[in-house]
Amino acid sequence: MDVLLQVAIILICLFYGARKGGVALGLLGGIGIVVLTFAFNLAPGKPPVDVMLTIIAVVAASATLQASGGLEVILLGAEKVLRRNPKYVSILAPFTTCLLTILCGTGHVVYTMLPIIYDIAIKNDIRPERPMAASSIASQMGILASPVSVAVVSLVAFLAKFPVNGQVIDFIQVLSITIPSTLAGVLLIGIFSWFRGKELKDDVDFQKRIADPEQRQVVYGDSVSLIGKVLTRDQWTAMWIFIGSIAVVAFLGAFQNLRPLIGGKPLSMVLTIQMFMMLAGALMIICTKTDPGSIGKTEVFRAGMVAVVAVFGIAWMADTVFEANLPQLKATLSDMVKTQPWTYALALLLVSKLVNSQAAAISAMVPVGLAIGVPPGYIVAFAAASYGYYILPTYPSDLAAIQFDRSGTTHIGKYVINHSFILPGLIGVSTSCLMGYLLAASAGLL
């Protein structure tokens, strides 16, 4: 009975924190940890310090890239690709936003691209809902394929403590599964989006809207574009420093013999990521005229620090309960998750919707899954299930897509659940999980 009450406390904190938003999600963990320790006399768990430090290092580098203007170089290149191939925007746009997320480690880059995607679609008589909804979903799916995302570095750090046949599932192995599975999901989203909804000329509601000259001007409006903007040498320098650092991290992950031996073992990839991300941020400051004071004001930095607080509160609270009740939980759940591993994926999906964060869902569920006996291979195979916050259209990128689509085709339905993002989300995540399972099995991890 005590276990159910303790789990209920976790769920209440998660639900209320998610409703409040921002750092509240992590801070509500403080209530949970106090109640669990003082009321139930549980020994406090261990906060995931390695994960938190890695997040801070990655966020610092990404925020420096944004503050330096290097992010605009990447965004401009993405826009050029889309404008050269406007007829294929429904497929290319989601790939573009996904790849931007993979490079930058955050889905927040999508906000700059959404008005550009809308402009390309509407000016070419393409239903904006098609690329807009797909692009919002793909931008979040890219998080699990990014070597510098909070979710991936958290996943790698947790897996480092659970070897498979004596070998740790390392950084490169994780990405070798999550990258192709993510891209497969994005491809299916693009193909589905190509055919979804009515053509604009056949859409009665749309035609009624543009029959009003004022509304027609609103719908078609003026073009939004980064093309023509003059980029400085500092912006290019910052971009190449950041991309180069990611390449070095990936290279060192692939060839562990290039890492120094510490205590007879190659330097861990968790520490390697931390070092080179800090180095990237430092080099961008030294080699460009970036104002260090502006770094902490960027959207990437603010979002990243919120993630740190969320991981701290959620993971500490969850670890407290599950460490105290581990024998009982193993006896109850281990057989089920071993024979029906898809139940872990479903639980991860639901928790993700509850906390509105892939990193927070991974921090809450991966340690629990590993502790009760979910094989690490399944943890990696079903990593895409950590993205479930498309189920209800409450995430900022989805709301932004609705706002930027002045045609009204990207929408929330009468019953809320029947919105523009639900089908692309279900298609993308289920495809990624299936592909992840096949790739993990072929790699001998299952």
Query: What tens digit of pLDDT does each residue of 344-376 get?
Result: 888 888 888 777 778 878 887 888 888 888 889
pLDDT reported for residue 5? 87
For residue 234, pLDDT beyond 90: yes
Q: How far apart are CA 284 and CA 389, in angstroms?
A: 34
Give the N- to C-terminal CA distance of the chain in Å, as an integer: 34
What's the residue count for the chain?
Answer: 446
Which amino acid, one-letter code, is at 262? Answer: I
**Top-confidence residue, 177 or 72:** 177
User: pLDDT band at residue 90, thresholds of 50, 70 and 90?
Assistant: very high
- Give CA angle at 142 (136, 143), nearest 5°: 110
For residue 45, pLDDT beyond 90: no
The residue whose two tokens read 């990624």 is: 432
| Residue 64 to residues 237, 292, 331, 419, Cα–Cα distance (Å) | 12, 8, 47, 36
Q: How far apart are CA 425 and CA 139, in angstroms?
A: 11
For residue 78, pLDDT beyond 70: yes
- Collect all residues with Cβ–Cβ distance below 8 Å to 116 and sequence separation of at least 6: 79, 82, 224, 225, 226
- Give CA angle at 354 (178, 100), nearest 5°: 35
Tokens of 204: 């009665």
Query: In the chain, what are the domain boundaries?
Result: 2-442
Mean pLDDT estimate for the chain = 85
Tens of pLDDT, residue by residue over 246-273, are 888 878 877 778 889 888 878 877 788 8
User: pLDDT band at residue 379, thresholds of 50, 70 and 90?
Assistant: very high
Q: How far apart are CA 37 and CA 47, in angstroms?
A: 14
| Residue 144 to residues 149, 262, 327, Cα–Cα distance (Å) | 7, 29, 31
pLDDT reported for residue 440? 93
Question: Where does 109-203 show beta strands of DSSP type E?
Answer: none
Percentage above 70 pLDDT, the chain: 95
Burial class (CB within 10 angstroms; exposed 0-12, middle 13-18, buried 19+) of 439:
buried
Pick from 230, 274, 233: nearest CA to 252: 274
Tokens of 227: 């093309």
- Collect all residues with Cβ–Cβ distance below 8 Å to 396 and sequence separation of at least 6: none
pLDDT reported for residue 436? 96
Tokens of 59: 């966020």
For residue 446, pLDDT beyond 70: yes
